[in-house]
Amino acid sequence: MKNGTQKISRKIDIKKYLLLIVFGFLAAIAIQERTGAERFAGGLLTACLLLAILYRDILRYKPAYFKNYNMLVLLGFMIVSTLLLGRFFEYILVNLARGIGLAPIEITLFGIPIAAGAMLVTLLFDFHTAIVFSFVVSLLSGLWLNSAIFPVYAFVGSLTAAFSVIRCKRRSALLMGGFYVGVIGGVTASILLLFTGEFFSVKAFPTVMFALSSGISVTAVVSVMLPILEYTFKVTTDISLLELLDMEQPLMKNLMITAPGTYHHSVIVGNLV
């Protein structure tokens, strides 16, 4: 009996590791800047290593997620989609800068809303998972951008995004979260410019402006993606639960009119809980 249980457990673990490899493969594709077997192999091994760290962290601190493959798939999807989102915004911002004759082009990278991923993970999972997620995504984004300072900027912005929505109870609170991301992003960009000796150069002002604008992009991305992810992966966030308590909900109105006794009893029981 014990051997049979161990075999089942091993099969489940193999499925989890295969899932890790699949998302590592997808992440490696997302961070490829140039083609080449050697470069891809390095990206794949790096992505799998970072995902293995995330896997062990979840196994140690959030084992409940392993009982729900839906949540594991969602987390892997969040990593890959955040990287692809970054690539998309990089393409848009770089071409925008070229179109208006803005130089140097690399300053546009501070406008990439990488922090949106951490904000979504905090809302869909929890703050602890968002911290490790931020670490993984920040390092992977630095690989695709070939930048030593961008991972610092991305990690600080991601942590700020995660902190800003820990007690988020309304979707309107996402606006304040985006504001915090933009302000802290501007401060972080200024510090990094100071470190690189470019704080008093002509690129300082547009760099800070792009960093501030990233907060707007983060709010927009999270506002659009959150309900889609909630519906697709059947995840109920605190925001969704609190929205059900809105007295303007048709169901609540109908309950108060047709069964007022049941409604008041439910309210009293809910307060006791």
Give the closest residue to 78 by CA, choosing from 54, 57, 59, 61: 54
| pLDDT the model gives residue 35 | 80
Asked whether 119 and 177 are in contact (CB, 8 A), the reply is yes
pLDDT tens digits along 142-195: 998 988 899 999 999 999 999 999 887 777 789 999 999 999 999 999 999 999
- Identify which of 11, 9, 46 has the alpha carbon closest to the alpha carbon of residue 25: 46
How far CA 74 is from CA of 19, 51, 226, 269, in Å, comes to 11, 14, 12, 34
pLDDT at 80 over 50: yes
Position 2 pLDDT exceeds 50: no
Q: What is the DSSP letter of 200?
A: T
Residue 182 carries which side chain, given as an amino acid letter? G
Sole residue written with tokens 């697709």? 232
Residue 251 pLDDT more than 70? no
pLDDT above 90 for 246: no
Higher pLDDT, 237 or 271: 237
Query: What proportion of the chain, given as a percentage, has pLDDT over 90?
Result: 57
Number of neighbours of residue 159 by Cβ within 10 angstroms: 20
The candidate with the shortest Cα–Cα distance to 169, out of 227, 241, 119, 229, is 241
Say if residues 109 and 102 touch (Cβ distance below 8 Å). no
- Please write the tens of the pLDDT for every residue from 123-146: 999 999 999 999 999 999 999 898
Q: How far is 3 from 5, CA to CA, in rounded Å?
A: 5
Band of residue 89 on the pLDDT scale cut at 50, 70, 90? very high
What number of other Cβ atoms are within 10 A of residue 242's Cβ? 13
* pTM of the entire predicted model: 0.86
Instruction: Say what the pLDDT of residue 29 is.
Output: 94
Residue 27 binned pLDDT confidence (cut-offs 50, 70, 90): very high
| DSSP H or E stretch at residue 185 | helix 173-196
Q: Which pLDDT belongs to residue 260?
A: 74
Q: What is the pLDDT of residue 44?
A: 93
pLDDT for position 7: 47
**162's tokens:** 């995660």
Q: How far apart are CA 28 and CA 73, in angstroms?
A: 17
Which pLDDT score is estimated for 196? 92
Decide: 254 and 209 in contact? Cβ < 8 Å.
no
What per-residue confidence (pLDDT) applies to 161? Answer: 96
pLDDT at 12: 53
Q: How far apart are CA 30 and CA 137, in angstroms?
A: 11
Would the pLDDT of 215 be above 50?
A: yes
Q: What is the DSSP letter of 103?
A: S
Write out pLDDT tens, residues 3-24.
444 444 445 577 788 888 999 9
